Amino acid sequence: MVDELRLTDALRRTGDSFDVPEDAFERVLAQAGELRPSTRQPSRAETRAGRVRRLLAAAAGVAVLLGGVSVWDNRVTDKAENADMAVSGSGSRGDGSTGGSLLEGEAPVDAPVRPGTAPGRDTARIVRTGTASLEVDEGRFAATMAALTRLAGSADGYVSGSMSSETDDRPSGSVTLRVPGERFDQVVADVRGLGDVLALTVTAQDVTVEHTDLEARLRALQATRSQFVTLLSKATRVGEVLEVQTRINDIQVQIEQTQGKIRLLDSQTAYGSLKVEVYESGDALTQRPGDRSRLRRAWDESVDGFVGGVAWLVSVAGPVLLILIVGVGARFAYRLTRRRLV
Amino acid sequence: METLQDWLTVYYATAYRTARLILRNPADAEEAVQDAFLRAWRFRSTLPQGGDVRPWLYRVVVNACCSKLRKEQSWRQRVDADDDALAHVPDPGRTPSQAAEDADALAAVLDALQRLPEHLRITVVLRYYSGLSEKEIATAISRRPGTVKSRLHEARARLAADPRLQALVLDEAEEA
């Protein structure tokens, strides 16, 4: 066991080796000069029970506020869900995704509407994504990739990623375009015009409910923080001050996290993402069976026929062999019987 | 004591060094102690009249340090940033080699202290550096005196297991 005296001596020498920062006093005094002094003295009428009652009343007020926000939040969520169902129609409802474009000009039923805005697509927040595979003429790969980049720029978008490779002297690659949501469909149509579309998938995911939920949560957190700041000014004991300050710090972290999620959703809904893969014709990946030559087809069929014939022979060999064995056996038995009779 | 200047003059140095032993990083320690003094000065009206300000003040300092420890992930990246402070070891009359040995010994103590869990480290520093009694420590960390006693015992046992602190360990004869 460590000796207490020796430990005390060691810690004293260690601690005393730390120099107190210069101007530390001045910094504290300067900050203190900006503080509003709390000179409030507890009056005779204010007992400890009175302080507890005040804090309980304030906490009850916070609880009522949070409860009210939660009820309002649920109402908004229900209405948004109803609106979502009205917009998506007969599409898959697993996660709000639908294939293809949204119905033009159709207003969600009972959707939350911001003051001053007409209901409709303006209030819905849609994440647009898509993938397309494009076949272009031989030698046109580089030009197509450049055209896709220009297409993104002309739609006030940008290229968020690209990749290219070369196999057997045939280049291929992909480019990911981020374009404003309202220009997404037009960009898809323009991409179609750059080559033969081998595959195309476009999705639209409605995240209005999620966004509304996050905004409501943010408002509730900010209101709660304001209430605790008010509580902080009323707290008189050091323990209360520290407790309330800790809660304020925790709520601030949650506020910043929620704001981050909202910013992410805003980014995803503001710009749709379209990944376009480009291949030159003659690339193995784009070859179709009809492109093979007649001679090649004839050869393949001949090989198939040979293999098939061998397979047939093998399949009939078993029964034929059995018949032969039975036949030879019968003949041998007949000759043996005839000799005995003679 | 009538003014904040008086408080700083009497208590700041020990409070700062206490925070340094808990947090190790000098910037964090200064920030925690500054916050603690400002908070304590602002609410000094709640200080018991005629009572000792030390346990009350150290409670605020400890809570400020705990807040720092909870928020600070990066203290682990800066834990070795200011070991040069240990080069300044007051050694009047000692030779350079003795001073170097002292610096190594103190660095070992500091390392061992940092390896203790937060709740044990705080208790050890308040007891063996700041000189608070077990009852005063209990007030400072809002625990019962029995808890303080058991934490001190556990901390001393853990420190004894550190091979670099054998000079602090009682041998069996001394313990008996």
Dump pLDDT digits (tens) for A102-159.
333 333 333 343 444 344 445 788 999 999 999 988 888 889 999 999 999 999 999 9
pLDDT at residue B147 in the model: 92
CA A307 – CA B145 distance, rounded (Å) = 92
Residue B172 has pLDDT above 60, yes or no: no
Count of alpha carbons within 13 Å of A213, Cβ hemisphere only? 12
Q: What is the mean pLDDT of residues A95-99?
A: 41
Q: Identify all chain B residues contacting A37, using CB atoms and an 8 Å cutoff.
A: 42
pLDDT at residue A297 in the model: 74
Q: Which neighbouring-strand residues pair with A172?
A: A165, A279
DSSP conformation class of B170: P
| Contact between B16 and A29 using a beta-carbon 8 Å cutoff | no
Q: What one-character-per-residue DSSP string does B23-80 give?
A: H--HHHHHHHHHHHHHHHHHTGGGSPTTS-HHHHHHHHHHHHHHHHHHH-SGGGTSTT
pLDDT at residue A283 in the model: 52
User: Nearest residue of A to residue B132 by CA position?
Assistant: A8
State pLDDT tens for residues A25-59.
Answer: 888 888 877 555 555 555 545 555 566 666 666 66
**A30 has a chain B CB within 8 A of its CB:** no
User: Nearest residue of A to residue B83 by CA position?
Assistant: A18
Q: Identify all chain B residues contacting A246, using CB atoms and an 8 Å cutoff.
A: 67
- Partner residue opposite A238 with nearest CB, options B20, B26, B60: B60
Q: Identify all chain A residues contacting B16, using CB atoms and an 8 Å cutoff.
A: 18, 20-21, 24
- The pLDDT-based confidence of A254 (bands split at 50, 70, 90) is confident
| Contact between B12 and A241 using a beta-carbon 8 Å cutoff | no
* A325, A333 Cβ separation under 8 angstroms: no
Average of per-residue pLDDT values in chain A = 76
CA A292 – CA A282 distance, rounded (Å) = 11
| Contact between B165 and A2 using a beta-carbon 8 Å cutoff | yes
Q: Which neighbouring-strand residues pair with A276?
A: A132, A175
**A33 has a chain B CB within 8 A of its CB:** no
Optimal mutation site among A17, A40, A242, A247, interface B, most CBs of chain B within 10 A: A17
ipTM: 0.81
CA A251 – CA A134 distance, rounded (Å) = 50
Q: Which neighbouring-strand residues pair with A204?
A: A98, A128
Q: Is B162 left (phi over 0), alpha (psi -120 to 50) or beta?
A: beta
Q: What is the edge-to-edge ordering of all strands in the sheet holding A97-99?
A: A97-99, A196-206, A126-136, A271-280, A170-180, A158-167
- Partner residue opposite B85 with nearest CB, options A19, A28, A238: A19
Residue B101 has pLDDT above 80, yes or no: no
Residue A282 phi, psi dihedral angles, 5° rounding:
95, -15
CA A247 – CA A255 distance, rounded (Å) = 12
Count of alpha carbons within 13 Å of A42, Cβ hemisphere only? 17
pLDDT at residue B78 in the model: 46
Residue B105 has pLDDT above 80, yes or no: no
pLDDT at residue A253 in the model: 86
| Contact between B41 and A236 using a beta-carbon 8 Å cutoff | no
pLDDT at residue A163 in the model: 86
User: Nearest residue of A to residue B44 by CA position?
Assistant: A38
pLDDT at residue B163 in the model: 82
| Contact between B39 and A241 using a beta-carbon 8 Å cutoff | yes
Share of chain B above pLDDT 90, in %: 22
Which residues have a Cβ under 8 Å from the Cβ of A184 and sit 6 or more positions away? A128, A130, A272, A274
| Contact between A11 and B46 using a beta-carbon 8 Å cutoff | no
pLDDT top residue among A107 and A20: A20
pLDDT at residue A341 in the model: 64
Distance from CA of B16 to the nearest CA of A (A): 7
Residue A203 has pLDDT above 80, yes or no: yes
pLDDT at residue A91 in the model: 37
CA A190 – CA A199 distance, rounded (Å) = 15
Distance from CA of A233 to the nearest CA of B (A): 11
Distance from CA of B125 to the nearest CA of A (A): 8
Average of per-residue pLDDT values in chain B = 78
Q: Identify all chain A residues contacting B46, using CB atoms and an 8 Å cutoff.
A: 236-238
pLDDT at residue A319 in the model: 92
Helix (H) or strand (E) holding A133: strand A126-136
User: Regarding beta strands A271-280 and A170-180, do their DSSP bridges make them parallel or antiparallel, or are they unpaired?
Assistant: antiparallel
- Partner residue opposite A35 with nearest CB, options B8, B42, B105: B42
User: Nearest residue of A to residue B113 by CA position?
Assistant: A11
CA A220 – CA A74 distance, rounded (Å) = 13
- The pLDDT-based confidence of A313 (bands split at 50, 70, 90) is very high
pLDDT at residue A95 in the model: 41
Q: Identify all chain B residues contacting A237, using CB atoms and an 8 Å cutoff.
A: 43, 46
pLDDT at residue B82 in the model: 45
Q: Identify all chain B residues contacting A7, using CB atoms and an 8 Å cutoff.
A: 124, 128, 156, 159, 168
Residue B29 has pLDDT above 70, yes or no: yes
- The pLDDT-based confidence of B148 (bands split at 50, 70, 90) is very high
Please give the structure tokens belonging to residue A96.
Answer: 């709000």
Distance from CA of A57 to the nearest CA of B (A): 22
SS3 B171: coil
State pLDDT tens for residues A285-302.
Answer: 555 555 556 777 788 888
Q: What is the mean pLDDT of residues A82-87?
A: 42
Q: Identify all chain B residues contacting A233, using CB atoms and an 8 Å cutoff.
A: none
Q: What one-character-per-residue DSSP string does A213-228 give?
A: HHHHHHHHHHHHHHHH
pLDDT top residue among B99 and B87: B99
- Partner residue opposite A12 with nearest CB, options B42, B129, B169: B129
Q: What is the mean pLDDT of residues A166-187?
A: 86
Distance from CA of A218 to the nearest CA of B (A): 22
Q: What is the mean pLDDT of residues A266-278?
A: 90
pLDDT at residue B53 in the model: 76
Distance from CA of B96 to the nearest CA of A (A): 16
For chain A, first and last CA: distance in Å?
A: 118
CA A63 – CA A57 distance, rounded (Å) = 10
- Of B115, B127, B148, B114, nearest in space to B23 by CA: B114
Count of alpha carbons within 13 Å of B40, Cβ hemisphere only? 29
Q: Identify all chain B residues contacting A24, using CB atoms and an 8 Å cutoff.
A: 12, 16, 30, 33-34
User: Regarding beta strands A170-180 and A158-167, do their DSSP bridges make them parallel or antiparallel, or are they unpaired?
Assistant: antiparallel
pLDDT at residue A146 in the model: 92
Q: Count CB-CB contacts under 10 A for residue A107.
A: 18
pLDDT at residue A296 in the model: 78
CB-based burial of residue A223 (10 Å sphere; 0-12 exposed, 13-18 middle, 19+ buried)? Answer: middle
| Range of lowest pLDDT (A23-32, A72-81, A235-244, B17-26) | A72-81
